[in-house]
């Protein structure tokens, strides 16, 4: 339970938002007004690959969006439980992930930031969409097969597949459609899910009328940040070796040690950017380019500039760049999770949930009406 003062503040925020939501500017989105939605699973403290690959783009979208653009970012904990989770660890991970989103620069006054399970309309719409979703279409989705290491032609009823993992693309569609999202930034691996979202919206609208917005895919050029010890694999939380990744909360000493120990190669001569033949060096160069304050046009241009710099010097430069970039993020995160602003997380979570419920109810009220579920 939140402290009384926090609940009062959250209630006032909800009242302000609900008044705003009743105006035409927050209703069904017009073609001239963008509504951007994106979500990420709460896995605890993000690593550098999460940050540079997706989260940094969220902040950029927020800071560069037109004033009337509605930005909605969610920690999708219902998706997280498609894989067995420790309840206590899931609670901890949600808190850590929320702190990380604030630490990297997402502003709860500008963006709606919330935990998915705090907004029941997501699950409500998911069930309604499930009643129109085709088993055949869902059986062609590639991600559930890849997670079970199944062949592309595998059939769901002949596999050890759990219903939640099979049907979570419908929940993902509901996440997007419930807020009337017009644009959804995704990587290439999620394009199939966006196509399903449009298919479900189109089918619903043909049956009941034009209620759901068919979102546009915004293809994000995500940076592939690789493992520091297995540079042919992506940086991952699931890797058993903690030296394979840099967390955004790692201390300067930890960062420096991990970068110094990063696997490269012993090929002589000028440096070349070749992710296939020289994956370790390519990863160092990609990271340097991602963090380069001078904004050198391409990683190939950066490689040319540093082609004769020693490997040790490259790693020293990278460690310095990472530490400089992460210092304010680390400080803010520590303040939010145990320092001077520890109570801020409860306030942001509660206010975000209230705003997200108000946003979702705009669409959900129309859905209930046209389906016949409301009086």
Our count of domains for the chain comes to 2
pLDDT at 223 (0 to 100): 73
Tell me which DSSP letter residue 81 carries: T
Catalytic annotation on 60? no
170 and 39 in a common domain: yes
3-state secondary structure of 135: helix
The predicted-structure confidence for 352-366, as pLDDT tens digits, reads as follows: 999 999 999 999 999
175 and 56 in a common domain: yes
The predicted-structure confidence for 94-108, as pLDDT tens digits, reads as follows: 999 999 999 999 999
How high is the mean pLDDT of the chain?
87
Q: What Å distances lie between residue 124 and 98, 120, 214, CA to CA?
A: 24, 6, 19
The predicted-structure confidence for 30-64, as pLDDT tens digits, reads as follows: 456 899 999 999 999 999 999 998 899 999 999 99
> Would residue 15 count as lying in a domain?
no
86 and 62 in a common domain: yes
pLDDT at 1 (0 to 100): 36
Catalytic annotation on 237? yes
Catalytic annotation on 234? yes
203 and 86 in a common domain: yes
100 and 85 in a common domain: yes
C-beta separation of 71 from 109 below 8 A:
no
262 and 197 in a common domain: no
Q: Where are the alpha helices (DSSP H) in 33-162?
A: 48-50, 56-64, 77-80, 87-103, 121-130, 135-139, 142-147
97 and 40 in a common domain: yes
129 and 255 in a common domain: no
Q: State the catalytic residue, choosing from 147, 155, 233, 307.
A: 147
C-beta separation of 282 from 231 below 8 A:
yes
The CATH number that applies at residue 170 is 3.40.50.620
> Would residue 360 count as lying in a domain?
yes
Q: State the catalytic residue, choosing from 34, 60, 155, 237.
A: 237
The CATH number that applies at residue 317 is 1.10.240.10
Show the domain range for 319.
242-338
Q: What are phi and psi of 273, to 5 degrees?
A: -95, 100
């Amino acid at each position: 339970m939140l402290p009384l003062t926090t609940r009062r503040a959250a209630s006032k925020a909800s009242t302000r938002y609900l008044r705003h939501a009743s105006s035409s500017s927050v209703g069904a989105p017009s073609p001239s007004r963008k509504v951007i939605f994106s979500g990420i699973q709460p896995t605890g403290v993000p690593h550098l690959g999460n940050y540079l690959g997706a989260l940094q783009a969220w902040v950029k979208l927020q800071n560069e969006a037109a004033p009337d653009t509605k930005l909605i970012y969610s920690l999708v904990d219902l998706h997280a439980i498609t894989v067995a989770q420790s309840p206590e660890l899931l609670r901890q991970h949600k808190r850590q992930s929320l702190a990380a989103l604030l630490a990297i620069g997402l502003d709860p006054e500008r963006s709606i930031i919330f935990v998915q399970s705090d907004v029941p309309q997501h699950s409500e719409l998911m069930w309604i969409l499930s009643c129109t979703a085709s088993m055949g279409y869902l059986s062609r989705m590639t991600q559930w097969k890849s997670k079970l290491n199944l062949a592309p032609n595998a059939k769901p009823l002949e596999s050890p597949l759990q219903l939640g993992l099979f049907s979570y693309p419908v929940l993902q569609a509901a996440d997007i459609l419930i807020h009337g999202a017009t644009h959804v930034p995704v990587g290439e691996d999620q394009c199939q899910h966006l196509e399903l979202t449009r298919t479900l919206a189109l089918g619903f609208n043909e049956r009941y009328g034009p209620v759901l917005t068919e979102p546009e895919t915004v293809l994000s050029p995500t940076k592939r940040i690789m493992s520091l010890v297995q540079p042919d694999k992506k940086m991952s939380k699931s890797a058993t070796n903690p030296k394979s990744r840099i967390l955004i909360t790692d201390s300067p000493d930890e960062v420096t040690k991990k970068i110094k120990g990063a696997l490269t190669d012993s090929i002589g001569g000028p440096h070349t950017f070749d992710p296939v033949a020289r994956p370790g060096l390519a990863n160092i160069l990609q990271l340097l380019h991602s963090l380069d304050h001078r904004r050198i046009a391409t990683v190939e241009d950066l490689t040319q500039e540093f082609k004769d710099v020693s490997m040790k010097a490259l790693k020293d430069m990278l460690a310095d760049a990472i530490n400089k970039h992460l210092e304010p993020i680390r400080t803010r995160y520590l303040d939010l999770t145990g320092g001077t602003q520890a109570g801020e997380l409860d306030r942001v979570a509660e206010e975000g949930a209230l705003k997200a419920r108000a946003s979702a109810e705009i669409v959900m009220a129309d859905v209930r009406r046209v389906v016949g579920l409301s009086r």
